[in-house]
Chain A
Amino acid sequence: MTLLDVKALKKYFPLARGQLLHAVEDVSFAIKAGDGLGLVGESGSGKSTIGRLLTGLELADGGTISLDTSTDTAVQLVFQTAEEALNPAFTIERNIAVGLGKNRSSDPKRIAETARSVGLDPELLTRRPHQISGGQQARAGIARALVSEPELLVLDEPTAALDVSVQAAVLKLIDRLRRERSIALLFISHDLEVVRLMCDHVLVLYLGRVAEYGPVEQVMSAPAHPYTRALLSSAPGKSNRVRSAGEALSPIDPPGNACLFHNRCPSATETCRTSKPELITLRDGWQAACHHMERS
C-alpha cells in the first residue's frame, strides 16, 4: 500500500535581480507503509527542502504530494539539532507535548509512555533541553515526533551532530520503533552507510534533480549514475576512489538543457552539456538519469 506519493515536486527560491534558485526540480518518489527511503546528496542538493515540503514547512511551487491517511499528524519531522527541535524555555515534557498538536490538551500518561519507549528516563521530563546530554536531546526530539503516532517520520540528518557511540544507539532506536509501529521513514542523510543500514530504497539527488533511485542494496553495490559512484567512493575507508573534480554548478538559474553533473563527471561528453538526461528505468523500481549508463 502506497502511503506517500510524490509527483514532479518543484521548489524555487526567488533571489535578488529576478534570479531563481532551483532547489527541487521534478522529483518523484513513493513510500509504502512501513518502508524506509533514504534521501542522499551533498549540501545544496535539495534533500532538506524536500523534507520541509513534505511536512508543510515550505509550500511547493509545483507537483503533488498525496498522503494516504485520515489524520492530520501522520507526518512528523525529526530535526538534526536540539536547537531546531526543542524549545529551550520548555521542559522536556512540554516539548514532547508540542508534538500532540495545538488541538489536544496535554496527556501526561502518553508523554511518559513515549519517553520510556525512546529510552528517556521519566525523571528527565522536568528538565530543560540544556540540562540533558546530546543523545538524550536526540531522543527527546524523536519522542516529540512520535507522540502523535505518525505513519511517516521525516528524519533530517538525525544523527549528524552525534558521536558515533551515541549515533549507534539512536539508529538502533529508530529502527526498533519503525519495526514495532510499522512507521515509514524518509531518512535524509549525507552518510550513505547510515542509509544502507536504515533504508530499503534510496534516492540520490544532485542539485535538486534525481540522479538515481532504487533499492538500496542494488544502488550501493552497482551504482548506475557516475555521481552515485563518486559519492560512494568518496566515503572514507574506500581504497578505489573515483575523483569528482571541481565544484558543483550553481543552483541559481542552472542550464535547463544539460546534465548538471557534466562539469565534474569523468565520462561527460558534448551530449551531456547540451541535453538533459531523463530518468531511465533500468530494472523494476530502479531508475537513473545519465546519457552514458552503458559506457560508464
Chain B
Amino acid sequence: MNIQPERLVELNNLTIRFGANAQSGNATVDHVDFHLDKGEFVALVGESGSGKSLLAHALSGILSPAAEMKSDRFHFSGVDLSDPKSNKWHGIRGREIGVVFQNPRAALSPVRKVGKQIADVIAEHRFLRKQALKEAVLEALAAVRIPDPALRVDAYPHELSGGMCQRIMMAIALAGDPALLIADEATTGLDTTTQAAIVSLLRQQAEARHMACLFISHDLALAKDFAHRIIVMHAGQIVEEASVDRLFTSPRHPYSAALTKATPANAATVSELSGIPGGIPDLRRSVPACRFAGRCEFADTQCWTERPELAGPPDALVACWRPLS
C-alpha cells in the first residue's frame, strides 16, 4: 500500500506490552491501526485505562522504556519511526510532533520564568540571536493570546492561572511549528469557560498552520465539538472509528452507545442516565476476545472466543460481532 500524498501518520498493527501482564499475555494496546491526514482533527475517547494516552505516547516517541512496542509499520511524513530508539526521532519528537498534557503546572518548571522556558524551546529549534529570540518569545505568547506578553514574560508559573499555564504549554508545543499536535486531556481540570477558550485557540492555531490535531479526552461532548473523526477505545482496543456525525447520531458499537447514554448532557432526567456495568477488565487476568464482552448486554459466546476485527466503510468502522443498526 502506498502512502497517499496527504497522509501524515500511518501506523499499522501497533501492540504495546508490559511485563506486568506477561502471565496473561494480554497486550495493553492491542492490534491498533491508526492514520492521520495532514491538517485533520481526530479525537480519541474512552474511559481511563482505555489506552488512549499510551497510544499518544507511542505516537510522540515518549513511551516508557518499560513498554515493549511492536508495529508492522509506523510512518510519519514518510519517515520510518517503528524503532522507538531510532535516531530518526531527533527532529521529529517535540518539533514535528508537539504534545500538550493535562496538568500544565506539573509540566512547567516552577523555578524558571515562563518566557525563559519558551525561549529554551525556541532556541532548540531555531538559531536566533538574543534580541531576535526575545521577539520570538513575545510573538509566541501573542499567538496563544496571552494578554500583555511583555509583562507575562517575566512571570513564574505559580503567578499565572491554570488556563494561562496551558497557553504557555501550547506556546512551547507550537514553537517547533509541528505538523501534528497531540492534546492529551489538555483541558481537563480547567473551568468550562477556560476550556472553551483553549479549544477555540487550539482550533484556530491548527487551522492557521495547517496542523493535524489528535485530541484525547474522556469528554465526548468536547471531542464532538473539536474533531472531524472520532476513535473510541476500550481496554486497549479500537472498538469504533467514525465521522463525528455518524458516531453521535448512530453509534454502532454498544460501548460507544453506552458512553453516549452515560453523558449528562444527553439525558433529560437522572433516570434517563445509565452507567456502564463493570469496569475496564483487569489485563493481568484472562479477558474475553472482545474485551467489552463482560460489560455488554448483547454479548454471546462468539464475543468471548473470537476477536472482532475493525471493519466497515471508512467513515463507520466498528469492531463488533453484534453491532447496533
Contact = CB atoms under 8 A, between A and B. Distances in A.
A169 B295 CA distance: 14
B301 interface: no
Interface stretch (A55-63, A148-156, A235-243): A235-243
Nearest to B218: A163
B193 A164 contact: no
Contact of A235 (B161, B221, B275, B279): B221
Most buried by B among A175, A192, A194, A247: A247
Contacts of B195: 234, 236
B264 A194 contact: yes
Contacts of B32: none
A245 to B, nearest CB: 8
A170 B162 CA distance: 28
Interface of A is mostly: helix
B192 A168 contact: no
Interface in B234-278: 258-259, 261-265, 267, 269-271, 273-276
A246 interface: yes
Interface of B is mostly: helix
Q: How large is the interface on A (under 10, 10 to 19, 20 to 34, 35 or more residues)?
A: 35 or more
B223 to A, nearest CB: 8
Contacts of A170: 275
B191 interface: yes
A171 B221 contact: no
A133 B49 CA distance: 12
A91 interface: no
B225 A190 contact: no
B192 A171 contact: no
Interface in A129-186: 133, 135, 163-172, 175
B161 A247 contact: yes
B314 interface: no
B279 A164 contact: no
A190 B130 CA distance: 44
Interface of A: 42-43, 133, 135, 163-172, 175, 190-194, 196-198, 230-231, 233-237, 241, 243-244, 246-247
Interface of B: 47-48, 147, 161-164, 191-197, 199-200, 218-222, 224-225, 258-259, 261-265, 267, 269-271, 273-276, 279
25 contacts: A135-B279, A163-B48, A164-B218, A164-B219, A164-B259, A165-B47, A165-B258, A165-B275, A167-B264, A168-B262, A169-B275, A175-B270, A198-B270, A231-B192, A231-B193, A233-B196, A234-B193, A235-B196, A235-B265, A236-B224, A236-B225, A237-B221, A237-B222, A237-B224, A241-B200
Given A163-B218, A166-B275, 6 more contacts: A190-B191, A193-B264, A197-B267, A231-B193, A236-B192, A247-B163
